[in-house]
Amino acid sequence: MSLKPISPKPIRKAVFPVAGLGTRFLPATKVVPKELLPVVDRPLIQYAVDEAREAGIEQLILVTGRGKTGIVEHFDIAYELEHTMSERGKDLSLLEATRATPGDVIAVRQQVPLGLGHAIWCARAIVGDEPFAIFLPDELMVAKPGGTGCMKQMVETYEQVGGNLISVLEVPMEQVSSYGVIDPGAARGNLTEVKGLVEKPPQAEAPSNKIVSGRYILQPEVMRVLETQGKGAGGEIQLTDAMAKMIGQQPFHAVTFDGFRYDCGSKIGFVEATLAIALRRPDMGEQVRAIAARLLT
Ligand code: G1P
């Protein structure tokens, strides 16, 4: 595993698959997209977009579906709101992260829910012939105080190893069947070679307890693999299966994120994220701690 900088093509584009129905959060998600549910005062998608921008990503490709255009609206300039607020002398800085540079947010549709691999493939024309990042917004990745976000850590590693990179983390063996799992090879620090990948294996067949945790840097060739990718786990076209075919063709590594991760795809994970982030916020942490202590007595 060489660690000298190889200056691969920079990562300028990121794909956010956000077409899911969010059935686990009904009735909250009947009208409001899951990605717009707030963790304290920022919608889930905003955390992922902020993480992308911190990593130097310029173009955001949202793979949406019916009823999910609110996510695209979120990154528009709300002219009436801003006009009214500034007339009243209100601070507009809270909206700063929601404003996209014209042309930097692109929405494509996944018309039929055929799986994550299919969702990514729907972005192929916008991604074009360059490496790109993928963010699954359900996986909320938070930097340690003074640290950097997950994608920034991955981009820094990518600049040294190139090829394909995924973020991984260890979970208890009982949980592996809910995730993509890697077959790990040689490891050095937070970098592990990926020898194999399997989507949602039964616990007894899982090659490790290192799961794919929702951040990817992939070479554009994955789009060609996805073109003909058949159905896999759960009857869906799986990104994991397409990535597995790239192993051996191109370098493939995993990065273990040095930070906090919350699985906001589940209600418990969402509550955990809300509590953890509120407790760490300088403007409310102390009050939340006092409330939690009172509730626990
Ligand atoms: C997806 C991926 C899986 C990954 C997981 C992370 O699964 O297919 O490989 O481990 O996200 O949350 P999903 O949660 O969409 O079933």
pLDDT tens-digit map of 57-95: 999 999 999 989 999 999 999 999 999 999 999 999 999
Query: Which residues of the chain register pLDDT less than 70?
Result: 1-6
Report which of 113, 115, 133 is spatially closest to residue 61, judged by C-alpha positions: 133
Report which ligand 1 atom has the smallest distance to the Cα of 214: 6
Distance from the alpha carbon of residue 180 to the mean position of ligand 1, in angstroms: 6
- Helix axis angle, 285-296 to 267-280, nearest 10°: 130
Q: What is the pLDDT of residue 6?
A: 66
Q: What is the pLDDT of residue 5?
A: 55
Distance from the alpha carbon of residue 212 to the mean position of ligand 1, in angstroms: 7
For a pocket test of ligand 1, which of 179, 229, 237 has the largest count of ligand atoms closer than 8 A to its C-beta? 179
Rg (CA), the chain: 19
Angle (CA) 104-106-109 rounded to 5° is 170
For residue 34, give Cα distances in angstroms to 22, 64, 66, 246, 294. Answer: 6, 12, 13, 31, 30
pLDDT tens-digit map of 146-170: 999 999 999 999 999 999 999 999 9
Q: Is the pTM of this model over 0.85?
A: yes
Q: What is the distance between the alpha carbons of residues 156 and 143, in angstroms, rounded to a whole number? A: 15
Phi, psi of 220 (to 5 degrees): -60, -20
